[in-house]
Chain A
């Protein structure tokens, strides 16, 4: 469905301008005693830019598809001009739902959407991971509190222990049957 696929003409020039100017700040080499921390914190620039970029891409896509649905709705209801009465509301509503639902489904079915959604999810997760790392680094570790990574290790150990216990129980039960 060509009409629904967004060329992203709005955001691309902005991104280029950003990368060529302020976006460079994040790439400056860090200096001084807090070098490592600064480097880590600077990562937020490209992460947020990427997330903002794909988010805008999605917004642009959905704006385009809404426009397309609106056009279709206008075409469908053009003949109703001057005839709208109380009992026609339901018909208009049904048309609206049908047209919007079908138009959006066409878009959601397109490879363009699944590619964009996957990229958006990926950037969202990268940003989430960064937030988590910063939280661990700057708050949890200095306060000697267990981090998500620590809890993950415990979970993995628990899973492994449970599995071993189950396996041992199974073997004991088999051996006692043999006796």
Chain B
């Protein structure tokens, strides 16, 4: 059956590649992530607020607070100097803060979404407002961090000047993502009551099951094919570190998020309550930018897009980029298209005193490279 096969060549080539790869890997020291200079300016329990060192003389007067998801770690936004959303925003003239939620332990199992939104996030926002002297700040919520940011903006609109949701799930009634399908049948109470803190490995197993053959086999075969390239190896190891650096989830917050959002889809219906207060998305009236990834397998566009209709802002825009969920932060388009789009949208809105006076047309013109949002 097998003809014309030059087996010795194949073995020899593979061996040479493996040998070179071993040399490359053994030369590597520590894989560093999140290297953009910063300091911890505020902390509360496990949460830390990071303030990044500005890289321009006169940064925008309105600071940007980046709110990452509770799943995985915030440093995907600052993976390496050449793949850093944070560094890109700093270089574009923004004063950037980010929240590191930390790793919840046993005593955090009773933390609720109310504690995260009206507690930690609210205190972080107040700190940034106080430190910067700005009455309102810009919020950039990433993934579930975008969902939390939308909840915050609905409850505290007076503290936020601009809201950017970055691949954030809002409408959970979709079967485009396997996560949405699986979540519907999960016995959430049983899982939370048993684990308390939902283990990161439990969530990781779910993510790997989304496409087991590509994520557990093909990815590593691809890595082996480029094992002799130092830069590729470094980037691969950084991503591996991030993917499997998965904090556990505070049980009660997880319970409410899974039941209210994934199972009953209450948020988009304006029926979700946290801390006894109903979240009405119509209260979101500040300028709003919704950024989505066309090939997002975790948060399909159908899940993000409805937010633009649910809010009452008059200055609102959607942008879809032809990449995947993770590609939005570390893909080739991230630095060249996604970050410049955010900067160009945010800059005029960070200086304007009156939101109605913003030169939106100019801002839109600058964004010509990105695909227009779904209508």
Residues of A within 8 A of B (CB): 81-86, 89, 93, 97, 100-101, 104-105, 108-109, 111, 114-115, 117-118, 121-122, 125, 128-129, 151-152, 155-156, 158-160, 162-163, 166
Contact = CB atoms under 8 A, between A and B. Distances in A.
Contacts of B7: 86
Lowest 9 A-B CB distances belong to which pairs? A159-B110, A85-B4, A101-B213, A118-B185, A114-B185, A125-B194, A100-B213, A155-B107, A97-B218
A82 B190 contact: no
Contacts of A104: 211-213
Contact of B211 (A105, A121, A125, A152): A105
Interface in B216-259: 217-218, 221
Contact of A84 (B5, B111, B181, B218): B5
Interface of B: 1-7, 9-10, 45, 106-111, 115, 119, 175, 178, 181-182, 184-187, 190-191, 194, 196, 209-214, 217-218, 221
Nearest to B4: A85
A114 B181 contact: yes
A81 B1 contact: yes
Contacts of B194: 125, 128-129
Given A155-B110, A158-B107, A82 B213 contact: no
Contacts of B213: 97, 100-101, 104
Nearest to B194: A125
A156 B217 contact: no
Q: Chain A binding site: helix, strand, loop or mixed by DSSP?
A: helix
Contact of B178 (A86, A109, A115): A109
B119 A166 contact: yes
B182 A117 contact: yes
A105 B2 CA distance: 31
Contacts of A151: 106
Contacts of B221: 93
Contacts of B107: 155, 158-159
Nearest to A158: B107
A77 B346 CA distance: 52
B1 A82 contact: yes
B4 A109 contact: no
Contact of A85 (B3, B190, B210): B3
Contact of B187 (A85, A101, A122, A152): A122
B209 to A, nearest CB: 6
A52 B166 CA distance: 43
Contacts of A111: 181, 185
14 contacts: A84-B1, A84-B3, A85-B6, A86-B10, A97-B218, A108-B178, A114-B184, A114-B185, A118-B182, A122-B190, A155-B106, A155-B107, A159-B111, A163-B115
